[in-house]
């Protein structure tokens, strides 16, 4: 950020016109002789404090503007791109949204993106993990309670619904909500009002409800463990987050992103993954999805510290999942007929070239588009100069 100095003007020939002109030109204050050193010291302190606040406000605005994009979501696979297109379409609306997907696929990131791209972006985003709270606590957590509503309720408490007024309430693991809380959620969606526990006065709030689950709500409705009428109220817009095994093309990008992040966070050199190790990682099914991949990246950054990761360095669970290298067919022209999806190096080269073509050779924009650091991009281009595109 530019650091413009704090300017205090001092003169022996001060008048109103001069003072006004000095302030118009950016002076923080205007002093006349004889100079009062105590007053000058106070002005300097106040000026530096205000300049510091101004810089902090600028940083916060830049962070808010940055978050309005999908900078936290890494990947270019077709299935992810389709979800992000849907997010852009539904975010400006008031519709209730249900996000489905396995654990660790990034459902909360999608909910945050919906909030940031909506007219409610400047209001609160309030997440609640419904599975982390016992049913008796969840109702109080969501709707609040009045003093004396139950044993231990020594004072009134505002719940998450009131805290999210004007913004977005994100209920993760909605499939874990018990029957009595389901009734209250249904009433809110129908009437947009609720009561605190122990209260009789209806409370009205204006919020956007986004829910997520890793369970099959259709099956739960059929079994009678989830209310059908509530399901229809929640299922106005339905988004499905693809598991990582359905977006393997994003794995090299995600690994680069997490390795770069944890390397910078710990102040140590990033590790490199050789093509054979990457082939094995691409074949693994990642049951924990992106959360498991992120933990893997942090582990190798901390434990290997800048070394090159080979197939021998990987946990045996990865190797057991990897198919053998396809053999070259007899009678061919001498070139190995390896499917393109298994040729990690070729995939990376194609991604790099596509990004550089799309950004007309702008390396900063290409790195942003790929979700990697500029340093990583330069390292790849030094390795494969043939894919570079000049601006």
DSSP string, 326-367: PPPPTTS-SS----GGG-HHHHHHHHHHHHHHHTTT-HHHHH
Residues with Cβ within 8 Å of 215's Cβ and at least 6 positions away in sequence, in order, are: 173, 175, 176
3-state helix, strand, coil in the chain (%, to 5): 50, 10, 35
Question: pTM of the prediction?
Answer: 0.66
How does pLDDT run along the chain (391 residues), one tens digit per residue? 445 788 888 877 767 677 777 777 778 887 877 878 888 888 888 878 877 777 766 656 555 444 444 557 888 889 999 999 999 999 999 999 999 999 999 999 999 999 999 999 999 999 999 998 888 789 888 998 888 767 777 788 888 999 999 999 999 999 999 999 999 999 999 999 998 888 888 999 999 999 999 999 999 999 999 999 999 999 999 999 999 999 999 999 999 999 999 999 999 999 999 999 999 999 999 999 999 999 999 999 999 887 899 988 898 888 775 555 554 444 444 444 444 444 566 677 777 877 887 787 888 888 877 777 777 777 778 777 777 777 7
Interatomic CA distance for residues 94 and 21, integer angstroms? 50
Strand 168-172 versus strand 308-309 pairing type: unpaired
Query: How many CA atoms are closer than 13 Å to the CA of 284, on its beta-carbon side?
Result: 24
Residue holding tokens 């008048």?
Answer: 15
């Amino acid at each position: 950020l530019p650091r413009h100095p704090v300017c205090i003007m001092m003169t022996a020939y001060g008048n109103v016109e001069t003072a006004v002109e000095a302030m118009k030109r950016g002076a923080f204050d205007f002093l006349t002789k004889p100079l009062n050193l105590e007053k000058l010291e106070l002005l300097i302190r106040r000026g530096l404090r205000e300049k510091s606040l101004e810089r902090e406000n600028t940083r916060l605005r830049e962070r808010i503007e940055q978050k309005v994009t999908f900078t936290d979501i890494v990947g270019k696979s077709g299935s992810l791109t389709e979800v992000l297109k849907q997010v852009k379409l539904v975010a400006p609306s008031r519709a209730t949204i249900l996000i489905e997907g396995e654990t660790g696929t990034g459902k909360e990131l999608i909910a945050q993106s919906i909030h940031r791209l909506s007219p409610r972006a400047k209001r609160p985003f309030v997440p609640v993990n419904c599975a982390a709270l016992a049913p008796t606590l969840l109702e109080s957590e969501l709707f609040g309670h009045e003093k004396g509503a139950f044993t231990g309720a020594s004072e009134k408490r505002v719940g998450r619904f009131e805290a999210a007024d004007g913004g977005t309430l994100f209920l993760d693991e909605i499939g874990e909500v018990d029957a009595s809380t389901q009734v209250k959620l249904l009433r809110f969606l129908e009437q947009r009002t609720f009561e605190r526990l122990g209260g009789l006065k209806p409370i009205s709030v204006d919020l956007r409800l986004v829910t997520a689950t890793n369970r099959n709500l259709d099956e739960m409705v059929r079994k009678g463990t989830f209310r059908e009428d509530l399901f229809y109220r929640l299922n106005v817009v339905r988004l499905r987050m693809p598991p990582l095994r359905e977006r393997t093309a994003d794995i090299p990008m995600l690994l680069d992103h997490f390795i770069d992040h944890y390397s910078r966070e710990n102040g140590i050199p990033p590790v490199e993954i050789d093509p054979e190790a990457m082939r094995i990682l691409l074949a693994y099914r990642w049951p924990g999805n992106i959360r498991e991949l992120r933990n893997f990246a942090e582990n190798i950054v901390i434990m290997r510290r800048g070394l090159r990761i080979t197939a021998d360095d990987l946990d045996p669970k990865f190797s057991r999942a990897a198919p053998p290298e396809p053999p070259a067919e007899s009678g061919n022209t001498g070139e190995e007929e390896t499917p393109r999806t298994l040729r990690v190096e070729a995939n990376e080269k194609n991604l790099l070239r596509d990004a550089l073509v799309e950004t007309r050779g702008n390396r900063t924009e290409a790195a942003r588009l790929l979700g990697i650091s500029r340093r990583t991009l330069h390292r790849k281009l030094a390795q494969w100069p043939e894919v570079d595109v000049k601006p």
